[in-house]
Chains A and B, each alone.
Chain A
């Protein structure tokens, strides 16, 4: 298996623009998680899905953030409009409950 695949690896955008981050989980995993990592706040859980249904989105910082999982093999995290304070590394992880999370390589987002 290719693991959890995130795209793009790096994204530089201007303040106010829409940003879409993408994730392909491991086939057969029924949980998907979005985390944000910054020096100041460490790893923050933004939202997680079970069987494509959002279970807990209490970590989504503002209405500017939204996440979808239209099917078992794809999820997106969208920021609209983006702000400089959104600059971070965003990780997607998937799990089948038994073996722990498998993380993607992350998307480094820079908003200028």
Chain B
């Protein structure tokens, strides 16, 4: 069964610093991987996704993530943090080739950006 582990429930960075949010997954088949962002009192919004092809995926708001099969990782990065990036971030995995289409979400990482 697929699973997702997000290391660090809280991450703090200074404005302008690199953002690195970690995600490791477990999957028995080639996975689809996703990052979502949740702002307070809102639903989750898709940041980026990996399905097939290029392993470096670019998303909205300057975020990107790299699929590394050998490390079973899909870490989210942004070169320079902005105050507006403060939110909760969720990594998710699905196994479309197994016949199911449900996503399994990680427990989330709350990003704090310090002025």
Q: Mark B30-64, 1 if CB is under 8 A from A, else 0.
A: 00001010000111111001000000000000000
- CB pair B108–A103 under 8 Å, yes or no, is no
The reply to whether A102 and B46 form a contact with Cβ atoms under 8 Å apart is yes
**Is B70 on the interface with A (CB-CB < 8 A)?**
no
Nearest chain B CB to A49 CB, angstrom units? 11
Would you call A97 and B101 a contact (CB within 8 A)?
yes
Q: Does A95 contact B (CB under 8 A)?
A: yes
CB distance from A89 to the nearest CB of B (A): 9
**Does residue A105 face the partner (Cβ distance < 8 Å to B)?**
yes
Number of contacting residues on B, CB 8 A?
20
**Complex alpha-carbon distance, A43 and B100, angstroms:** 18
Partner pick for B46 among A4, A43, A101, A104, CB 8 A cutoff: A101
For the complex, give the distance between the alpha carbons of A67 and B30 in Å.
Answer: 31
Asked whether A45 lies within 8 Å of B102 as measured between CB atoms, the reply is: yes
- Asked if A103 meets B102 with Cβ closer than 8 Å, knowing A42-B107, A42-B108, the reply is no
How many A-B residue contacts, CB cutoff 8 Å? Answer: 47
CB pair B103 A45 closer than 8 Å = yes
- Per the CB 8 Å criterion, the residue count for chain A at the interface is 22
- Contact between A43 and B43, CB atoms less than 8 A apart: no
Are B46 and A95 in contact (CB-based, < 8 A)?
no
Q: A42-B107, A42-B108, A100-B34 are in contact. Are A48 and B43 (CB under 8 A)?
A: no
Q: List 27 A-B residue pairs with CB atoms under 8 Å apart, sorted by A's residue number.
A: A4-B43, A31-B101, A33-B103, A42-B105, A42-B106, A42-B107, A42-B108, A43-B90, A43-B105, A45-B102, A45-B104, A55-B101, A56-B102, A91-B43, A93-B44, A95-B101, A97-B101, A99-B46, A100-B34, A100-B46, A101-B44, A103-B43, A103-B45, A104-B43, A105-B42, A105-B43, A106-B43
Chain B residues packing against A (C-beta within 8 Å): 34, 36, 41-46, 49, 90, 96, 100-108
